[in-house]
Amino acid sequence: MKRVLKKSAELCILKVIMNERLAGFKEQSHTADLEIRVWGEDLDSLFSAAADGMFYLSGIEDSEEGFSSVKESISLDAMDYEGLLILFLEELLYRLTEDYMLFSIDKISISTEFSLKAKLRGTQIRSYQRDIKAVTYHRLNIRETDQGYEVNIVFDI
């Protein structure tokens, strides 16, 4: 997986290139919480970009020196794609806040039966700037577009 990060004062777009699939996110203004708009050519790249967007919003400081990466696999099932996205992000958020682990996604597969299988690589971090309390269902609706999929995700802070 290759990552390209572009920053400006009001915009952050992360393009994730996984097997030539493009995805990204943009921070949206929100009165009390944090919100991102996420897009991807398919559901796999959409979920990956959503995870990267959440980690970006957390303001990861630095990774720990001398810590070897940890490889893990996860499997999740839900009633729909929105529920699956919430479960996936909440799992990663839990590991970030409780274990100070930042995960990158080596491989992800989402089935039509609303199940997810992912291989993750985690590294220890020192700290993060923003404490995200939860991933919410507010305005959460995965939409199919001409370019693939998009979704707005609101995070409770």
pLDDT tens sequence across 52-97: 999 999 998 766 676 778 999 999 999 999 999 999 999 999 999 9
Nearest in space to 53 (alpha carbons), one of 154, 141, 127, 156: 154
The count of domains in the chain is: 1
Does 134 have pLDDT greater than 80?
yes
CATH of the domain at 87: 3.55.10.10
Least confident among 3-17, 113-127, 129-143: 3-17
Is residue 55 within 8 Å of 47, Cβ to Cβ?
Answer: no
10-50 per-position pLDDT tens digit:
445 545 444 455 889 999 988 888 999 999 999 999 999 99
Helix (H, G, I), strand (E, B) or coil at 89: helix
The residue type at 88? F
Q: 147 lies in which domain range?
A: 2-156
Nearest in space to 106 (alpha carbons), one of 3, 25, 20, 18: 18
So what's the pLDDT on residue 62?
67
H, E, C per residue of 112-139: CCCEEEEEEEEEEECCECCCCCEECCCC
